[in-house]
Structure formats: structure tokens, C-alpha cells
Amino acid sequence: MKKILFAASEAVPFIKSGGLADVVGSLPKALDSQYYDVRVILPKYACMKQEIKDKMEFVLNFYMDFDWQQMYVGVLKAEDRGITYYFIDNESLFSTETIYTGDALFEIKRFAFFSKAVLSALPLIDFQPDIIHCHDWQTGLIPVYLKERFQGDLFFHDVKTVMTIHNLKFQGRWNVQEVEDITGLSGYFFTPDKLEFNKDANLLKGGLVYADAITTVSPTYAEEIKTSFYGEGLEGLMNARSGDLRGILNGIDYEEFDPANDPLIAYPYSIQNFRKVKVKNKLALQKKLGLVEDEKCFLVGIVSRLTDQKGFDLIAHVLEEILSTDAIQVVVLGTGEERYENMFRYFDWKYHEKLSANITYDNTLSHMIYAGADAFLMPSLFEPCGLAQLMSLRYGTLPIVRETGGLKDTVKPYNKFEGTGTGFSFANYNAHEMMRTIRYAEQIYYDKKREWNKIVEHAMSENFSWDVSAKQYQLMYDWLIG
């Protein structure tokens, strides 16, 4: 058995703020369990649900040198659908009200602690991984600490590391002096060829320099991050390591997201009967949200973190025009930057029958939107992979996306000459290009319903389950283990 340890800051069903949690929560199960013993390690946050914490059992504790102190490290354990999860406990660092705090220095401190604690705990819990698979900046110091101090120990001698980039924008940066002080790493590590970045220390960069292999979550994003527009200042490093960098598309859990078998939607449907049944979910959604109940009206869904990344400034630019003239309804679900939350609240007030703003996190409502909407809007500025468009495809809700990152790799634009495609897309980050694309989709929907339904059929026939991508990870693991 090959042993793989996933290290991350979040995973479904334990704690989630974004797509990272979906991936860390579903990829381990998709790997071949005959051949790989995959376990996951996360921090134990006080803000996890009580019923989740009740499932954890205490394994052991120890004290670790960190930030000039002896710090308590507790290790807990839980099983979820056949996978063992470990949790690193330290109340002074992880007893926050929300998963992340927005206090950059504190975040660096707690995840540097987590990274060192993960490595320190392994010999004690007697799990000797062949590969530690690290996710995003929070675990960037694992490959660094491994090379710096742990690898001298026989236990760690053959351990390899993989660093997966889910979002290059977040890097964990702070001034070198304080990071040196907190982490106990010597000045040797803080030069521009290692952790230093524009005079700051950069934890993700550490992971990207020291990991044995690097992946990101779509082939297109793997290319994009070698350019200055998408590279977030690390494009030079991404080019330098391009031989070790690969893009592997995320999948989604096809059991959880299954329109034919989804307890969260009122009228389950399949590729055979969506023509009759899907629309009932639209009516149910309109009713629940107080929109005009009209099965014919073109309904566009948005389920997203409300951040710059997702293209909301394009929407802000043309939403008034769309709502004031088009026969359209828009349903929004998500939380995030206040200016976008308020924008949607304003339009909800002004066009109450046409737009429903749900500024909250609501899993049931998200499934109702994937099932009930006709189209799904995702005009991202950049998108490492994107999961919502995969869920929409699965539910036959046609994505309208910008051609970037994983969106470009997963949505095939409708081609009226060949009758192919699974959605609609536009190339440039331009509000009117987006609006034209929405209107084109609208026109097909209203005037060529048979054609529309054919696209829905194509969308529902795609396969973005983990089957394909898990095999690509396995190939990489085997290549690394040798």
C-alpha cells in the first residue's frame, strides 16, 4: 500500500469556505483504495459544528517548539466515508469565530504552526506517508520544514511532497523578519530564490520551490500562471518549474450532485425526462424566493463567493440594463465583499419580481438553483478550475462563462453550425461582451427551444466525476514514488 497524506486548511464535511474544501473532501475517496491508503490532516477549528466535533476522538498530545515557546499540539481523529481524518488542535490558534480571520500575521502564525505540527505528529501517530500532498499557501511550509529539519531523520527520508495550487492569488505574505522569528527558519531560506518575494516572506513560494511536484486544478490555469497577468508575481518561478508543473482538472462528487437522486430538490430528473421535469424545479424555486412564477421566463443562477475574482464588476456594469429591458430572472446566492452584497440587495429592492438576492450560505438553496435555473452565470476574471459550472452542467443548467482557466477547459461554447456545445462563453473581460453572450443565450432559449434542449442534453452527458482526474493524480504519485 502506498501512503498519501493530504494536508489542507479545509475539507468537506468538516469545515468549508470554498472550493478547496470540496476537492480535499472528495478526491481522497476517488483514489484507488486497493492501492493507496489516503488520509487527511486539518486544523481543528472551534467554529466547526458541534456534531462534527463530537465525532472526533483524542489520539495523543505533545509539545512543540514554535515561536519561542513550547506549544501544545493535540491530535484527534475521525472517520468519514472510509477515510481517516486527523486534526491538529491548539486552542490559542484555532479558536476563532470564523475559519479565517483576515489578520494576515495571525494567519501566517497559525498555518506555519500547523505545517510544523503535521510533520512532528507523523512519527507519533505512526503514519509514514510516501507522499504529503499539500494544498494552497496554508501548507506551503510543509515541503520547507521537511527539507530543513525533518528529512535528516530516517522516518522522513523518502517522503515526497506535492504542492497543489487552488488559487495563486493567496500566498501568505509578511515581512521577512517576523516570519523568520515565528517559524524558526534561518535567514538562509529568505532569499529571492527561496521564500523571499519583493522583500516579504512568502509561504506559498516556499512550497513551490521545495515541493517535488506542483499541480494546479486545470490545464489552462497551469499555462496561464506562467504569464504576468495570471502569475501574481510568481510567473518566473512557474516558468522555472514548468517541467514539474501539471494541470489536473477537479472533479465533483457525482453522488452528491445527481439530479436524478438529489434529496434537496423537489423534482428529481434525468437526461431522459428533463424536458418535462426540470421546469417544475424552476417553479419551486420561483415560489420559494417570491419571484413571478412563470415557467417560461429565462432564469439565470449565480452561486458564488462574491469577490473580484468571480467577475462581479462586469455584472455591476450591465445588470441595470439587463434587468430593465430583458425578460429575465436572476437568482443570486453567496456572501463576500460588501460592495457586491449591497449591489445585489439594491437590485433585489428595485426589481423585486426579477431578482432575488440571497446573501447567505445555504446548501439546499444552491441545489435548488442548480436544478431550477436555465443558465448559470460565471464571468470570472480568473478561475483556477471552478466547481459551480461542473455542478450546473450535471444539472443541465447551461453555463455562461468567460474563457479562462478551468471554465475554458470544461464548458464547450455552443456552435450553431455544428450543433455542438454545452454552454456559452466569451473571451475578453468586458461587460458588454458578457451581456451580448447572455442575450445570445436568451435568444436561443426563447426562439429555439429544441436547440436549447439539445445543448442541455450535451451538458448532462459530460462526465466531470473524479474518475478521470483521480487517475492522473495516481500516475503522478506513482511517478514520484518510483
List residues binding ligand GLC (CB under 6 A). 18-20, 23, 166-167, 217, 250, 383-387, 406
- Distance (Å, whole) CA 453 – CA 441: 12
- Distance (Å, whole) CA 350 – CA 466: 42
Which residue number places its CB atom closest to ligand GLC? 19
Residue 66 or 370 having the CB closest to ligand GLC: 370
The half-sphere exposure of 316 on its side-chain side, counting CA atoms within 13 A, is 14
Residue (of 217, 218, 213, 189) closest to 203 by Cα position: 189
**Which strands form 173-175's sheet, in the order they lie side by side?**
173-175, 200-202, 196-197
Considering the complex, what minimum distance in angstroms separates the CB of residue 100 from ligand GLC?
13
Considering the complex, what minimum distance in angstroms separates the CB of residue 307 from ligand GLC?
9
- Cβ within 8 Å of residue 445, ≥6 positions away: 298, 374, 375, 452
- DSSP E strands: which ranges in 92-244? 131-135, 160-165, 173-175, 196-197, 200-202, 213-216
- Distance (Å, whole) CA 134 – CA 91: 23
Considering the complex, what minimum distance in angstroms separates the CB of residue 479 from ligand GLC?
22
Please answer whether residues 92 and 98 qualify as being in contact, where contact means their C-beta atoms are separated by less than 8 angstroms.
no
CB burial of residue 12 (10 Å; 0-12, 13-18, 19+)? middle
Considering the complex, what minimum distance in angstroms separates the CB of residue 334 from ligand GLC?
13
Considering the complex, what minimum distance in angstroms separates the CB of residue 256 from ligand GLC?
15
Residues linked to residue 216 through DSSP beta bridges, in sequence order: 165, 247
Residue 371 or 390 having the CB closest to ligand GLC: 390
Residue 137 or 344 having the CB closest to ligand GLC: 137
- Distance (Å, whole) CA 292 – CA 432: 27
Residue 90 or 404 having the CB closest to ligand GLC: 404
Residue 62 or 170 having the CB closest to ligand GLC: 170
Residue 166 or 394 having the CB closest to ligand GLC: 166
Considering the complex, what minimum distance in angstroms separates the CB of residue 288 from ligand GLC?
27
Considering the complex, what minimum distance in angstroms separates the CB of residue 407 from ligand GLC?
9
Residues linked to residue 368 through DSSP beta bridges, in sequence order: none
Considering the complex, what minimum distance in angstroms separates the CB of residue 473 from ligand GLC?
13
| Amino acid letter for position 291 | L
Residue 115 or 250 having the CB closest to ligand GLC: 250
Residue 17 or 175 having the CB closest to ligand GLC: 17
- Residue that the C-alpha cell 508543473 belongs to: 245
Residue 224 or 262 having the CB closest to ligand GLC: 224
- Residue that the C-alpha cell 475574482 belongs to: 309
- Cβ within 8 Å of residue 168, ≥6 positions away: 204, 216, 225, 230, 231, 232, 234, 384
Residue 56 or 388 having the CB closest to ligand GLC: 388
Residue 22 or 196 having the CB closest to ligand GLC: 22
Task: Decide: helix, strand or coil at residue 430.
Answer: coil
Considering the complex, what minimum distance in angstroms separates the CB of residue 242 from ligand GLC?
20
Backbone angles phi, psi at 299, to 5 degrees: -115, 125
- Helix-strand-coil split of the chain, %, nearest 5: 45, 20, 35
Considering the complex, what minimum distance in angstroms separates the CB of residue 147 from ligand GLC?
26
- Distance (Å, whole) CA 301 – CA 330: 6
- Distance (Å, whole) CA 28 – CA 25: 7
Residue 8 or 431 having the CB closest to ligand GLC: 8
Considering the complex, what minimum distance in angstroms separates the CB of residue 181 from ligand GLC?
30
What radius of gyration do the chain's Cα atoms show?
23
Considering the complex, what minimum distance in angstroms separates the CB of residue 381 from ligand GLC?
11
Determine if residue 172 is left, alpha or beta; phi over 0 gives left, psi from -120 to 50 gives alpha, anything else beta. left
